[in-house]
Structure 1
């Protein structure tokens, strides 16, 4: 079945399901078996069930969407499980906004991580509970049709583009690793750290730089209504640094794209910086060559506790 609903089109919910040939007309997440599409509906009304503060478009373009289940702890079963598995199965995720009449926002994919377990506030006599929050990113969509995340209502993403905003720097502080935890998605109850190695690596590197007399800061750059923040900004070296927890090719390639974006945006704001990548160990020579060939410095820790770099 060819998807023929254009982005921005509004249609009655009943008519939508009749057109697609299936799917629940009440659930916020539903699968249309006939076309194998995942449909996701956001209607700005989740606050009454205690999870509205978790749902909305973040400034970085990630759409946080709460899982299904209005009472008690949510579970990774049923439609929640179907949405979580959509990436590996290849099911398209179609996001709509509204209730009786819904507007098609576009197609989305699961981000990394695809979801986290979070505490939802209680409502009325109901206690706090555990809930799923899915992280969705646009594939072909008009994200301006989505509501802004509640705690970012006053941010640039909800006010519109601020493409000429100046860079903002603040003092860097060692990271608290305990802030970066989510519940294990496969076991349900045990807790693991996500990218803890990455945050430990950033802290070790930042403290090592300071011990050498370098200035270490946090740099915030805003363009097109989106704020991006490199992991470290070292003005005394003139570098913005992106840290990754692995030297695997996929991580290095992602870091290259991110750090080149940082330097390009900074340059358009009048701040000349050089790109750098921080890895947990010495990468393969081919990865070092790839980075240096596009002007990126590569850093990694060595056995002495110091850090070594290879510059372009």
Structure 2
């Protein structure tokens, strides 16, 4: 929507106080919902991000999506308050525009933070947010929401190289719950089903998650045996986005990668992924396994076994090749 009161133009500099005086909203916290105008103002600041335990904000590598981290400095973030305002900003009963600002440092030694206006955004329909994990202000691992924002169609916006998601400065690993996911669709309650749907331009789309179904079935099998199962978020120095493993069985010290098909290209992809994960987990003892929906051809099995990678094959409600020899 037009913001004529302050004449906000992408690239211009202003302050939170000026925005609040013109449109309402809060002067504290990164997400400021106006109570007097249909706007939500999002403030991103790399300078203070580390202080709050995260710095996932910025243009993604394809420069088409802007990542914005939800609010909540400690404990798992929840889709309430400001986070809920972002998630539901396009609700037809109460639509609100999302406006993003980036901090440009203070005016003087003690003056207000200068805010550079990037433009108006809308939440991505296909993948509205990612789940990321980091250490909160209380020193404990926690889940955060990273919203995926796209510039409003045909609207002006300001994009510069320094606004890209920052590269990691060190290697880290965080063990996650087994059911953690790095991405969600619009209907999060359907995220664990083999098939889900969401409303997008052009009608309803369906997404089939065969790999998720196989992974979930194997997870249920392991948990039924009383195993401690999780997964890892791996941050690699110099990378802008973390990596996520599939299942890690802490009881047997085995890292698994599930693939939806047993053909050679899928198995080769799984081999590359799991060997890369192993490097960054940094454990010499961890064993490797690939979970497939059917037996691959003989040479493919010889290929994986030659690398010391075990194959586990789903056969109805059983998994052949488990436990690993």
TM-score normalised according to structure 2 size = 0.48
TM-score normalised according to structure 1 size = 0.50
Structure with the higher fraction of residues in helix conformation: 1
